[in-house]
A and B are shown apart, each in its own frame.
Chain A
Amino acid sequence: MIRLGFQLLGGAKTFQPSLSIKVEQIRTTFVLKRRYPPLLDKQNRPPKPLVTKNFVYDEVENTNLKKEPDLKLILTSFVEGVGLKNEIVTVRPNFGRFKLLACGLAVYASPENLEKLKKDLENSDNKVQTTLHSSRFAELTRRDLASKILVVLVNQENPWTIEKWHIRAAFRRTGIWVPDHAIKMGDKPISGPNLELEKKYFLVTVTINNLETTPVRCMIRHWSTFPELRLPKVDGYLEPPYEPIFEDEREIISTLPLPVFCLKKSVAS
């Protein structure tokens, strides 16, 4: 009986290991408060046992509903999207615990570790790290660009030769800002208008933060100001196979990673 049980419980000796819990309920960390606090104990007399009424609790707080504070860690190696080696980062707690600390990619930013880091930085050169990675997002950006297909629009009537500003404008259309100094064109010039070059690919090298480089596939598409002369729309014009303009670029074009929409389609089918 519960009443009897609680009378026995009064006095706070509670190592009664007879309950076995097999529950599938919502469980959290509760902070409780007594609705009817017990009477004060008198001095020099044995303490008064708790009465059943003292076991009526109100929930003050549910700590699992509060946001857990972020973890401050020191990275022991480069982690893309998070930071460079020896950087002090603040991350979400579960990510920090299971993806960084457990994998040995970071240590806690305790006072001892911070001091040790300070000494290490003073003693050693930091040049090695900066020659490998320019920033935490550079590698991600590089991979993103490598899988992209840049549609370079060229005029169907007027003569043109592909220059850096064509590439820059094409990037701007996709929402990427690439300054001219970061673009490196191929050796051989491409000029037109030449409908044989339509939907054919050439390579361009993009440099990120003066360090990471990646080739980017560019596809030529002719565009006319006269709507009636415009070339008809074709479905799936960005899907492989990718025909190169110059044969020596075929290998690189085919080995670059497929764009994301191609991968999703292959998964769906």
Chain B
Amino acid sequence: MSAVKSRSFLNRFPVFYQKFYKEWRWGPQAPVHYVPEEGKWKRNPETGEVKVIQNKPIPLTYPKEFEDGLWGGEALVRGFQKRNPLRRRAAHFWFPSLIKSVLYSEILDKHMEITVTPRTLRLVDQHYGFDSYILETPPQDLKSNLGVKLKRSLLLALAKKDFLPNNAVKREELLQKYQKHIIPLEEAEWYGLTIQEALEKLGESEQREVKAPAVKQPLKIKFREEFIQQLKAEQEEKSAPPTPKSSWNPFKFNKSV
């Protein structure tokens, strides 16, 4: 097993999809379950020794319930507690608190019941709205399938401009409000796809590009045509007035030719 796994399987995809996928799976996440140390180095006050600061994030676990909710950067933390210095460490799971809550999207004009955490609700308030929260948060912080798909549907709606069909005034207002998040339709169609979906889409587009297979004619037809052309050319030559031959005429005394 190599230290860095190859990501060359992404090379077939368009550049913007590669960027999205890399951000989503491996992008740096905002710290939720730990407090990162500020700065690049620190000095020991007693010894004066200077050490660099390396913030190693706490590894998180994402259960399958995670994919259907918006947990706001939280996840399951598996670790140990050592409550007494004389006793052995004991395994402990730190769970996030989950609430079934209703969130409203202005662009899609929908109320959605989603499993969230109190942190998600706080983040929605900080961003002054659910749509703003989804559009402004990078995919590595949304992380769940639901979060990324919601972002995809919002971006597609903004790119196609087909949301709120009955309220043109409100639609214009929202387009103005979320102007900085509008991306071209081509990019929006690729955003938020899983690898499987992306491969299917790639297959479709690659098939369209493949030219129609050339009808394979037997070569004899080609040769026959060439020969016919050749014969025609020879006949024309013959019917044309005889070019002046040399003075030596082998048929001089044979008029039948």
A residues with a Cβ closer than 8 A to B are 2, 6, 9-10, 12, 14-21, 23, 25, 27-35, 37-38, 40-41, 46, 50, 52, 54-57, 60, 63-64, 68, 71, 93, 97-98, 102, 108, 110, 112-113
Q: A30-B94, A56-B82 are in contact. Are A9 and B76 (CB under 8 A)?
A: no
Q: Give CA–CA (A110, B125) in the complex, Å.
A: 10
Q: Give CA–CA (A30, B104) in the complex, Å.
A: 27
Of B114-122, B225-233, B248-256, the one contacting chain A is: B114-122
Of B14-22, B55-63, B180-188, B191-199, the one contacting chain A is: B55-63
Q: A29-B74, A40-B51, A110-B128 are in contact. Are A60 and B60 (CB under 8 A)?
A: no
CB-defined contacts of B57 to chain A, threshold 8 Å = 12
Interface pair B66/A93, CB less than 8 Å apart: no
0/1 interface trace, chain B 5-46, chain A, CB 8 Å (1 if under): 000000000000000000001000000111100000000000
Segment 182-231 of B: residues with Cβ below 8 Å from A: none
CB-defined contacts of A97 to chain B, threshold 8 Å = 121, 125
Interface pair A12/B177, CB less than 8 Å apart: no
Interface pair B122/A30, CB less than 8 Å apart: no
Which of B3, B59, B65 is within 8 Å of A50, CB to CB? B59
A14, A20, A38, A52 — most chain B CB neighbours (10 Å): A14
Interface pair A93/B121, CB less than 8 Å apart: yes
Q: Give CA–CA (A27, B94) in the complex, Å.
A: 7
Interface pair B94/A71, CB less than 8 Å apart: no
Q: Give CA–CA (A110, B64) in the complex, Å.
A: 35
Q: Give CA–CA (A20, B68) in the complex, Å.
A: 13
**9 A/B residue pairs, CB under 8 Å, sorted by A:** A27-B95, A30-B77, A31-B35, A32-B33, A35-B82, A40-B54, A41-B54, A54-B56, A68-B118
- Minimum CB–CB distance from A150 to chain B (whole Å) comes to 44
CB-defined contacts of A20 to chain B, threshold 8 Å = 63-65
Is the CB of B160 closer than 8 A to any CB of chain A?
Answer: no
Segment 67-95 of B: residues with Cβ below 8 Å from A: 67, 74, 76-82, 89, 91-92, 94-95
Interface pair B56/A12, CB less than 8 Å apart: yes
Q: Give CA–CA (A41, B63) in the complex, Å.
A: 30
- Minimum CB–CB distance from A110 to chain B (whole Å) comes to 4
Q: A19-B76, A56-B80, A56-B81 are in contact. Are A25 and B94 (CB under 8 A)?
A: no
Q: A14-B59, A14-B60, A21-B65 are in contact. Are A55 and B78 (CB under 8 A)?
A: yes
Which of A60, A71, A102, A113 is within 8 Å of B104, CB to CB? A102
CB-defined contacts of A41 to chain B, threshold 8 Å = 54
Q: A33-B34, A41-B54, A55-B80 are in contact. Are A9 and B96 (CB under 8 A)?
A: no
Q: A31-B34, A56-B80, A93-B121 are in contact. Are A64 and B56 (CB under 8 A)?
A: no
CB-defined contacts of A68 to chain B, threshold 8 Å = 118, 122
Interface pair A32/B58, CB less than 8 Å apart: yes
Q: A17-B64, A102-B102 are in contact. Are A30 and B33 (CB under 8 A)?
A: yes
Interface pair A64/B118, CB less than 8 Å apart: yes
B59, B66, B92, B177 — most chain A CB neighbours (10 Å): B59
Which of A21, A35, A57, A113 is within 8 Å of B95, CB to CB? A21
Q: Give CA–CA (A46, B117) in the complex, Å.
A: 36
Is the CB of B169 closer than 8 A to any CB of chain A?
Answer: no
